[in-house]
Structure 1
Amino acid sequence: MAQLEQQVARRLTRFYILALTVLAVLALSGLLFIRQTLNDHDDDSRVVNVAGRQRMLSQRLTKLALLQTTEIPTPDTASFTALLNTWSQIQRQLRDGTLRMEKDYLVRKSRRIDQMLAQIEPVFQSMYQNLVRINTASTTPEEKKAALQAVLQAEPLFLEQMNAIVFQFDQESFERVRALERIEWVLTIATLLTLLIEGLLIFRPVVKHTKDVIRKLTESDEALRQTNAQLNMANYDLENANRQLVITQRELLWATEEKYRLQMAEEKIRSAGLLEGQEEERRRFARELHDGIGQMLTGLKLHAEKLKAVPFAEPKHRERFEELCNLIYDVIQTTRQTSHNLMPSVLNDFGLGAALQFLAEQTTRSSGIPVTYEGETEGKRLTPAQEIGLYRIAQEALNNAMKHAEARQIIIRWQHDGNSPTLTVEDDGKGFVQKAAPEKDGLPQPTHGLENMRTRARLLNGELTIASKRKKGTKVTVCLTDTRNA
């Protein structure tokens, strides 16, 4: 029997590891596809922006050529030669397939775009040569006028064809994003199929094996009942039977107590693992927000700030651009705030006292409710698990006070004296009457917020007490009884 159980366990373990490996590969493949597409989309966006800028430069060069030929004074201080060189250089880089700016951007061109760039090349060369002729000091006024006439004739065709090229770039970029969506669907379906196979090949055998074990236990229990009945019917010595019964009762009591201790230890380990998994997921999300989306938003902000020096054709365009910059800044601030709420860096760097003080100041700024911190900000550090557990309890208590208590003032106290540090969150809100937890099937069911705080305190070898009265406020206290074994 033991050998059979080991064979079943090994087989199920292999299937489980294989299923997890497939899921991990599918997840990593999806992330790599998304990362590659984001990088390609960034290049595509830059290319579309630069291609659209070519139209603006051609119009500006035409205007400057017209003003220079007619000798009309203009407040535009831009260098005609610099603009002409920039316009020519970008057009050549679009044709060659690489934009060389703050970094190299790949111009991914289809056969259609290559044909369109080849088609626009004669028009571009005509405009460029005539603009060079206008900018040459030795050119006579009549030659400049003739060159200007050629530029004016070629400019509408250049703008029309350049518009078509920009739209084609944008369309092809959109098609590549759609292709990624299709790949993501394929990966999602593959993941669901893997989960289905895992359920059929792993969980069903486990359930079947469990049923067999329960059946054998039931049969064994029935055999035990029959044996007891036979023993009761026998004419044994009453004193020996009583003595045996007492021994059996003691063993049963010890087994029950041991089972209860094992259940409590298992529940504590499960809760600790769940909370640790939650904290690890929060750390991962915080890193993703800060290092991924935060960096991209910062880059977007820098690109937007570079465009502030570009003149706008209409004031409303400037106003919309300023609104866009403000929106980008608000998104960056919101992202930073979310990342900090998930995993505050000040907790790891400076300890629980500094983190609680920062939490109080941040809550005061965001909610308008005065939150006061009383306690030391430097001193002996606790273990990382104790600090994050106490910090989460303070967060939950503070959140409850702001959401439900309608408090006018909240106080956070932190005392770290010897081996019994104490955390207190007190408010002057409306308070509440503590009720028994709701029951289901005769068992108490905890409420999430208060039970989370109690669970964290229990895992830290601490005690959580809540004192609250109607219109008298609420006081939440956590006292760690032994910080050395937490």
Structure 2
Amino acid sequence: MNQLDEQVARRLTRFYVLALTCIAVLSLSGLLFIRRTLSDHYDDSRVVNVAGRQRMLSQRLTKLALLRITGTPSADTASFSALLRTWGQSHIQLRNGNLQMEKAYMVRKSRQIDRMFTAIEPVFQSIYQSLARIDAASATPDQKKAALQIVLRAEPSFLKQMNDIVFQFDKESFERVKSLEQIEWALTVATLLTLLIEGLLIFRPVVTHTKNVIRKLTESDNALRVVNDSLAVANKNLEDTNRQLVDTQQELLRTTEEKYRLQIAEDTVRSAGLLEGQEEERRRFARELHDGIGQMLTGLKLHAEKLKVIPFAEPKHRQRFEELCELIYDVIQTTRQTSHNLMPSVLGDFGLGATLQLLAEQTARSSGIEVIFEGDRDEKRLPPAVEIGLYRIAQEALNNAIKHADAQKIRISWQREPQIVLMVEDNGRGFSVKSSPKYEKGIQPINGLENMRTRVRLMNGALTITSKLKKGTKVSVHLPDMKNS
């Protein structure tokens, strides 16, 4: 069947392209001839009109010259000079074959017309110069009368020759139209012959060949119907097999989804246990720092203060002792700060709002950066795990803004109602959220961000991090409303 299709396509394409090409060429040729002849005929009509106008202008100029010399008044108000200039320019353009009107018209002239213009040229020049002398202000009345006599003698000859030129223009234009008619008849006959040849040599063979093709297609269709019946049985068996495969695939998907949910639940439990263990270890370590090392340092400070009353042999010993007391005080403050960072006691006593405010104040004092806290400071409390999680997120966001973003201003916002929202915003250099942030010192807060995401996920909340280069970073946490513990 493929060879049959290709054979039919090649034959139809070859014959039709040949026939249509012949018809298109003949049709376009006729259109081009008609368009060109109409354009030429329009130009010829314009030329004939201008040539006929030359006769009228010569007569009008002769009348105006006669009226001017005799002093007879006339209702004709046309300018004698303008008419003379138009008459002269039109004659020159007709003679040179380029007529300039509203557009350029080509004056097609035969040798006969050229000879006629050559014969009329002396008469035209005699009349034109005489009319110019009549129009000249410097000419005397006798000169003007003599010029008028020349015009009157030459005018009949000019009118006769100009009349012959007009009729010759019209005759040649008519001959060109007759020539177009002959060409059009020839093209029409050629087109009809082409259609006849196309009907005899193309359409009849194509119809015969098409009948044979249809017969073969009918036979092939019958054979194909038998094959389709066999394929229908095979397709039904295949559908049953596919249905079984789909059921198996759906069961596999359900098993995979269940395994994935179990894995997520296991990861959540593991993360919750890990974070809870970390917080418990921080709480224990903070208690040991406060109750153990803190108390020992406080005792050391009290003993050192008792030694202040003892006189020293030299002033430099007194100075070193003062420096030792200051060092002990700094160690105590550092220990308290470390204990507070591990587990602030304010969080358990006064709640998250007061703890965040204290965190902002301590961070501002230690870093020299402007840290502003805006939020609720009421006594409404959240579950301890939620307060610790939100505090760690704020603490991590502050550390990232100070260490990595080179921020100069940080704002902490906290609200309890109508929705639990914690936001930490800085004016640092920011980073591209789509790609991993890179910093000059090689420190990347990826683990910190992942810890924040894990804490928010365990609280069933939503974490949003928006950042643009050189535009700062904003970390927002939204939690569902929950009852007070």
Short-chain TM bin: 0.3 to 0.5
Larger Rg, first or second structure (1 or 2) = 2
